[in-house]
Structure formats: structure tokens, C-alpha cells
Amino acid sequence: MTFDRTLKIAPSILAADFANFGAECAAVEAQGADWVHVDVMDGHFVPNISFGPATCAAIRPHIKGIMDVHLMIAPVDAYIDAFAQAGADIITAHVEAGPHIHRTLQAIRASGARAGVAINPGTPAEAIAHVLDIADLVCVMTVNPGFGGQKFIDMTDKIRTLRAMIGDRPVHIEIDGGVDPTTARSVVAAGADVLVAGSAVFKGGSVTDPAPYGTNIKAIRDAALGTYA
């Protein structure tokens, strides 16, 4: 996995058909997705439960590219190896999930995965200032995590601050929550290079009619790059 800052669209399978995860992952990749974003929720750190490492392992063979696993769980450390063994390329933990994010990011890298750190809307950029040297990705939440389909919260000031803090380090800025063609441009202009989108990608399509996924991904990509008509 080489580093670059070109725009990447990462559909969140939280908005996919849960009875068809494998086919949904293959469908969004065939329709132009760059990464596949996998939202793990524990009903404790966030008020919703999704799925765990066994599901990640089951869908792994259906993803050709990057499996981007977003852990909305606390505690994190005891589960890192399970998600790494499930085939996660990137494992992202929340800075709010415990007192030892530095240790957690070290443990993620030791597992062989790339390490991501996520920050909730209420958390300042400065909370992760001292882990940027051991992170591969910063995930800026633009909703309070727990559910798909929520309204976008403007975090462009925080994204700009983080982009400046990151400087020339090889660290992605990922945006998660409420991304659609109307919100994509502002976050990319502020410095983001990875856009997670759930409802805005999966709306209108299905595994038997995946063409809308392609139309939706293209609309987000074109809007983000400023070529949306």
C-alpha cells in the first residue's frame, strides 16, 4: 500500500445490504470505489451494534483493494490482532476510546496494519498532535458516530488545522459522516483525501442493480474535485 494524496472514495458497508456483504463489496469496487470502509460498533462506545472481526474476515476475500476498518469500540487493544488477522489493511481507533491512544496506534502498527486515529466532532485537532508521527490516517468525524444517514457537521476549520499540523508526513485525512455531492467539495478543499460515504453511495442501487453505485460515486468524486455540473 503506497501513500498518495489523490482523492479516494470509500463506501461504508454500514449502508449496504447486510445479507449480501460480499457481493456489495465487489459491486462498489466494480463501480469505482477506491477503498471499502467497514464500521465496527460495540453498543458501548457508540449507541449501536454492527458486527465484529468474524464478519470482516468473511468479507475480506470479496475486497480486491483496501479494507479500511473503523473501530467504534472501547476498549480497543484486546481486539486489534483479531481485526488484523481478519485482513484489515487499515485499523482506525478513536482518540476518545481510552486513555492510551499512543499505545493503541503502536499496537495497530505492530499487528501489521496501518494505523488510523479518529476524532469526534467535539474533540479538538490538538488532541492528536502528539501521535501524528505514529499514525497513517486521521479520520475526522463529521457526524457523531453510531449511525449512517446523519446530517453533516461542518468541520472544515479542524480539517485545515490538521492538514497544517500533518505537514509533509504521509498521513491521510479521511472524512466520515454525511458526505455527499453537496458536502464533498468543502472537505477536500480543506485538505481531505479520503471520503467515506454510506447512504450517498448505496442509495438507489442493489447487488442486482449496482449501476446507481457508480453514478453516486462519480457524483461525489466530481463534486469533490470541483467538476460537478
Contact residues toward Zn ion (CB under 5 A) are: 39, 70, 176
Do 197 and 187 meet the contact criterion of CB atoms below 8 Å apart? Answer: no
Q: Are 4 and 33 in contact (CB under 8 A)?
A: no
* Amino acid in position 113: A
Which of ligand DX5, Zn ion, none is residue 71 near (CB under 5 to 8 Å by kind)?
Answer: none
Q: Are 202 and 213 spatial neighbours (Cβ–Cβ below 8 Å)?
A: yes
In this structure, what DSSP letter does residue 18 have?
G
Hey, what's the cell of 119? 476524532
Q: Is 209 labeled as catalytic in the residue annotation?
A: no
Residue window 11-50: x/- pattern of binding to ligand DX5, with contact defined by CB under 6 A: -x-xx---------------------x-x-----------
Calculate the alpha carbon distances from 57 to 62, 89, 126, 197 in Å. 10, 12, 34, 22
Using the minimum distance from each CB to Zn ion, give the nearer residue, 73 or 84.
Answer: 73
Q: Of 91, 213, 96, nearest to 145 (Cα)?
A: 96
Q: How far is the CB of 176 from Zn ion (least distance, A)?
A: 4
77 SS3 class: helix
121 binds ligand DX5 (CB under 6 A): no
Residue of this chain nearest to Zn ion (CB atom): 70
- Footprint (CB under 6 A) of ligand DX5, residues 181-200: 196-200
Q: Which one of the listed residues 34, 176, 180, 193 is annotated catalytic?
A: 176
Q: Is 176 a catalytic residue?
A: yes
Residue among 116 and 177 whose Cβ is closer to ligand DX5: 177
Q: Active-site residue numbers?
A: 39, 176
Q: Which residues bind ligand DX5 (CB under 6 A)?
A: 12, 14-15, 37, 39, 70, 143, 145-150, 176-179, 196-200
